[in-house]
């Protein structure tokens, strides 16, 4: 593994150096060749299932006497229904105490083991985890089991916890990026599915009760919809005994019944006014295939080359060449039955239309002209190296395995990832851009000074025929 990581890192570094211009008058040296990418091999893992349905994966890995424990419960924002962020409020209440011990008592106990307990709510799951010294693995497992299975959910702290969440929403809504993302997700998925509800309305959040929290926990937390991952250096027999003792009595709970929704195609443009804003926040996107789709490798390489890496075309154009923005980027987001591609940036207000023109031009160029073999090979190698680096830690391995399991991907998905990325043909990168980024089906959200940007933006020919909404009141 150390040699693998070194070669991957050197390859990524060589790619970055190859794309930097030589300074005037500087001595020019021959560029080193990018090393051959190496395949990733998942460490030996052991999987077993308790009688109550809890699935457990052991991942022996590393040399340090530490271990990562992560309990992934299929209870995320997709389960909110009409109560946006009820999953977040439930998790916040779970942090307040469990099994009769206060938050402070639990924090002191886990700190004595060298770690802390973290609860995070995602779109599809809630994670409860810690990293501790290996010798404290059984005790740490018991604490996580208490938080998941026996949270106090004490009404005495409810008003304070809910008020903190209301404040978080208020702070988030003050950020143009969050405003843009909220409108963007609503255009993609509508308001009738949790995918389309990024933030709760303040009055709705203030209306949630302790009974709502108790009901969400009771309906969505159970052994049958949970997976436990343990990675690091540990005694497997002792940890299995500890797992069975800590979680064996957990009720199976209700089956996973999340309802998914596909992303909608445009063309749709949404303007949100921010008078006097020096920058315009941009969200541009399209529906995409899912992570398990045969086109996923092509989509992944296309995204990295176009906007999903620091050396991407959009970064070089909009940041390095034009200076319109500091940190443009694109990403793929996977949903249970598909996904969507998003380009995001904060561009100088006066250059909003020009930045969009360049963005559209880069998309059209990739659609019409396959990248050179050197450019395509460089981005494939970069993706392979980054994947190996991402799996160089216990936390990284758990993240990859939990994603594989959440989306029901094949057991050999991680082992096949690098070969599949390296096998993407150059021409298939352009094919993916043509298939998944049709500009006449775009969804575009702009948050900025509309008096300054609106007219020039709407003059762009790629927006002809789009349904245009905003500002409020129109």
User: What per-residue confidence (pLDDT) applies to 410?
Assistant: 96
Percent of the chain with pLDDT over 70: 91
Dump pLDDT digits (tens) for 46-80: 999 999 999 999 999 989 999 999 999 999 999 99
How would residue 357 be classed by pLDDT, with cut points 50, 70 and 90?
very high
Dump pLDDT digits (tens) for 154-184: 999 999 999 999 999 999 999 999 999 999 9
Does 323 have pLDDT greater than 90?
Answer: yes
Does 367 have pLDDT greater than 70?
Answer: yes
Percent of the chain with pLDDT over 90: 87
Residues 6+ positions from 417 with CB-CB distance below 8 Å: 40, 387
Average confidence (pLDDT) over 17-26: 40
User: What per-residue confidence (pLDDT) applies to 42?
Assistant: 84
User: What per-residue confidence (pLDDT) applies to 40?
Assistant: 77
CA–CA dist 439, 443 (Å, integer): 9
Does 291 have pLDDT greater than 80?
Answer: yes
Average confidence (pLDDT) over 222-245: 97
Average confidence (pLDDT) over 18-27: 41
Average confidence (pLDDT) over 351-357: 97
The pair of three-digit structure tokens given for residue 221, joined into one six-digit string: 């937390």
Does 474 have pLDDT greater than 70?
Answer: no
- Name the burial class of residue 84, with classes exposed (0-12), middle (13-18) and buried (19+) by CB atoms within 10 angstroms of its CB: buried
Query: What is the Rg, in whole angstroms, of the alpha carbon atoms belonging to the chain?
Result: 24
Does 85 have pLDDT greater than 90?
Answer: yes
Q: What share of the chain is helix, strand, coil (3-state, %, to 5)?
A: 50, 20, 35
Q: What are all long-range contacts of 355-359, with beta carbons under 8 Å and residues at least 24 apart?
A: 355/282, 355/318, 355/322, 355/324, 355/325, 356/282, 356/284, 356/444, 356/457, 356/460, 356/462, 357/460, 358/317, 358/318, 358/322, 358/324, 359/284, 359/314, 359/318
User: What per-residue confidence (pLDDT) applies to 31?
Assistant: 53
Average confidence (pLDDT) over 197-221: 96
Alpha carbon separation from 290 to 129, 243, 397, 402 (Å, rounded): 27, 33, 21, 16
Does 153 have pLDDT greater than 80?
Answer: yes
User: What per-residue confidence (pLDDT) applies to 200?
Assistant: 95
Q: How many CA atoms lie within 13 A of 202 on its CB side?
A: 10
Please, what are the domains in the chain?
A: 46-247 (3.30.830.10), 268-469 (3.30.830.10)
CA–CA dist 204, 165 (Å, integer): 12
Q: Sign of the C-alpha dihedral, residues 144, 150, 155, 159?
A: positive
Say which residue the tokens 């308790």 belong to: 50
Residues 6+ positions from 420 with CB-CB distance below 8 Å: 297
Does 11 have pLDDT greater than 50?
Answer: no
Does 371 have pLDDT greater than 90?
Answer: yes
Q: Average pLDDT of the chain?
A: 91
């Amino acid at each position: 593994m150390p040699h693998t990581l070194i070669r991957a890192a050197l390859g990524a570094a060589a790619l970055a150096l190859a794309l930097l211009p030589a300074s005037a008058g500087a001595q020019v040296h021959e560029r080193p060749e990018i090393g051959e990418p190496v395949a990733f091999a998942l460490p030996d893992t052991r999987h077993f299932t308790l009688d109550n349905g809890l699935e457990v994966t052991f991942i022996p890995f590393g040399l340090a006497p530490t271990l990562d424990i992560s309990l992934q419960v299929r209870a995320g924002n997709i389960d909110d229904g009409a109560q946006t962020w009820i999953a977040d409020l439930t998790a916040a209440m779970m942090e307040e105490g469990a099994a009769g011990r206060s938050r402070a008592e639990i924090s002191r106990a886990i700190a004595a083991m060298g770690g802390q307990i973290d609860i995070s709510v995602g779109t599809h799951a809630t994670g409860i985890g810690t990293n501790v010294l290996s010798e404290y693995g059984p005790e740490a497992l018991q604490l996580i089991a208490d938080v998941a299975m026996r949270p106090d959910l004490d009404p005495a702290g409810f008003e304070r916890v809910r008020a903190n969440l209301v404040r978080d929403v208020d702070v988030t809504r003050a950020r143009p990026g969050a405003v843009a993302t909220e409108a963007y997700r609503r255009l993609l998925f509508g308001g009738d599915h949790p995918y389309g509800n990024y933030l709760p309305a303040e009055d709705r959040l203030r209306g949630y009760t302790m009974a709502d929290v108790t009901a969400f926990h009771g309906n969505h937390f159970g052994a049958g919809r949970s997976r436990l991952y343990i990675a690091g250096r540990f005694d497997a027999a002792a940890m299995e005994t500890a797992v069975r003792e800590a979680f064996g009595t957990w009720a199976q709970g209700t089956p996973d019944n999340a309802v998914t929704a596909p992303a909608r195609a445009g063309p749709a443009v949404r303007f949100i006014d921010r008078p006097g804003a020096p920058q315009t926040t941009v969200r541009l996107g399209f529906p995409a295939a899912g992570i398990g789709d045969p086109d996923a490798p092509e989509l992944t390489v296309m995204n990295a080359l176009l906007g999903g890496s620091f050396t991407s075309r959009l970064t070089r154009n909009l940041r390095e060449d034009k200076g319109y923005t500091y940190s443009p980027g694109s990403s793929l987001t996977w949903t249970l039955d598909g996904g969507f591609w998003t380009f995001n940036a904060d561009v100088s207000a006066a250059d909003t239309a020009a930045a969009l023109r360049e963005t559209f031009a880069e998309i059209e160029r990739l659609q019409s002209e396959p990248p050179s073999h050197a450019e395509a090979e460089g981005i494939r190698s970069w993706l392979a190296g980054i994947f190996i680096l991402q799996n160089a830690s216990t936390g990284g391995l758990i993240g990859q395995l939990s994603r594989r399991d959440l989306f029901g991907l094949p057991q050999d998905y991680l082992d096949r990832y690098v070969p599949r990325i390296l096998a993407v043909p150059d021409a298939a990168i352009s094919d993916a851009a043509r298939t998944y980024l049709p500009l006449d089906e775009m969804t575009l959200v702009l948050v900025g000074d509309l008096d300054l940007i609106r007219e020039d933006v709407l003059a762009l020919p790629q927006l002809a025929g789009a349904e245009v909404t905003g500002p409020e009141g129109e």
